[in-house]
Amino acid sequence: MAKMMFGDTEETVVTRDEFPLEKAREVLSNETIAVLGYGVQGPAQAMNLRDNGFNVIVGQRKGSPSWDKAVQDGWVEGETLFTLEEAAKRGTFISYLLSDAGQMKQWPAVKAGLERGNTLCFSHGFAVTYSDKTGVVVPPDVDLVLLAPKGSGLSVRRLFQEGKGINASYAVEQDFSGSAEEKVCAYGIGVGSGYLFETTFKKEVYSDLVGERGVLMGALAGIMDAQYNVLRENGHSPSEAFNETVEELTQSLIKLVAENGMDWMYANCSTTAQRGALDWRPRFQKAVEPVFKELYESVASGREAEIVLKANSEPNYKERLQAELDEMHSSEIWRAGESVRKLRP
């Protein structure tokens, strides 16, 4: 494990150079990796591990659309594809990738399949951190670890197929075997992580929930809506408003930020853009920082967890979710987006 400086802070990171794929295969050579759940992260992690030569099986509810998808992806019933309960029993390294609500519901069956010395791995710290709400209390005689890719399952798979990789955090909550850290790092390399950085279950879920509700999704969508609406109210066309709000960001500027950072992107824009962005940046920070503080407190207090579990447990949740997504899809900004995307060369 290497120490690297990020700003003024030293962090533990694991790279492919110091932990090559060959070493990862050796560390997990005697393990049967059972990926439980084939929804968001499951397909990417399971297929990447399979392509990298690990012994992988998949557990999924039989007869579900996700079961059918697993069959289409080449998992064979009775050989590499089993029910959740059977896969949990067969696995020695169990990667628990159901939804947070699903993990809570299936936990008794998964717990029953755990044996002394097994490894239980999560890709989200939710169920363990909020165990008082989920009931997921892990026995002390297993390794309890976390490997959390910093992106969607689609990105994990796509970047792997491109020969790249997405960064991931890792944590060790219980080290019963004495080799839990080595095993979770091997798993991270196996799923194709670019590099691994150390965290804890609690820090992972706090940062993840804040990020999803903030810059990554909630705040981003809200800011886009606000700017688009103001431009439209002042007579700008849908195409112009969308291009200035979304298209230029996603197709140009954010890629420059990804390559070399925000300062480099500023330096490679017009002087007019530079000056305006530098002047307005602190005003936006001052305006939204109180909202982020409120958001963090809501996460840390467990309120966001309660909201999620309550909503996801309601029988009509999927119908309500679809109605909310349909409303977003039918809004003018994203209808304009559909038209703009069709015109991309």
* Span 104-162, pLDDT tens digits: 999 999 999 999 999 999 999 999 999 999 999 999 999 999 999 998 999 999 999 99
Instruction: List, for residues 192-240, the tens digit of each pLDDT value.
Output: 998 999 999 999 999 999 999 999 999 999 999 999 999 999 999 999 9
* Count of domains forming the chain: 2
Q: Is 129 a domain residue?
A: yes
7 shares a domain with 117:
yes
Q: Are 35 and 95 in contact (CB under 8 A)?
A: yes
Answer yes or no: do 297 and 195 share one domain: no
Confidence of residue 10 (pLDDT cuts 50, 70, 90): confident
**Cβ-based neighbours of 256, under 8 Å, separated by 6 or more:** 264, 265, 268
Nearest-angstrom CA–CA distance, 54 and 61: 23
Each residue of 292-340: pLDDT tens digit? Answer: 999 999 999 999 999 999 998 888 998 999 999 999 999 999 999 999 9
Q: What is the DSSP string of 87-144?
A: HHHH-SEEEE-S-HHHHHHHHHHHHHH--TT-EEEESSSHHHHTHHHH-----TTSEE
The CATH number for 55's domain is 3.40.50.720
pLDDT at 3: 75
pLDDT for 47 equals: 98
The CA–CA distances, whole Å, from 256 to 220, 250, 261 equal 18, 10, 7
> Pairing state of beta strands 33-36 and 93-96?
parallel
Q: What is the per-residue pLDDT for 108?
A: 96
Domain that holds residue 184: 2-199
Which of these, 224, 308, 45, 61, lies nearest to 152 by C-alpha position? 45
- The pLDDT of residue 52: 97
Q: Give per-residue pLDDT as tens, 230-264.
A: 999 999 999 999 999 999 999 999 999 999 999 99
- The reply to whether 190 and 314 lie within a common domain is no
Q: What pLDDT score does 271 carry?
A: 93
Cα-Cα-Cα-Cα dihedral sign, residues 181, 185, 188, 190 = negative
pLDDT at 345 over 90: no
In a domain, 258, yes or no: yes
> At residue 2, does pLDDT exceed 80?
no
Which one of 176, 199, 222 terminates a domain? 199
User: Among candidates 169, 91, 99, which has minimal Cα distance to 136?
Assistant: 99
In a domain, 124, yes or no: yes
Query: Which residues pair with residue 59 across a beta bridge?
Result: 36, 82
Do 64 and 143 reside in the same domain of the chain?
yes
Does residue 35 contact residue 191 with C-beta atoms inside 8 Å?
no
What's the pLDDT score for residue 12?
A: 82
Task: Check pLDDT > 90 for residue 40.
Answer: no
Residues with catalytic roles: 124
* 262 lies in the same domain as 195: no
Asked, for residue 209, whether it belongs to a domain, the answer is no
Percent of the chain with pLDDT over 90: 88
Is residue 206 a part of any domain in this protein? no
In this structure, the number of other CB atoms found within 10 A of the CB of residue 15 comes to 15
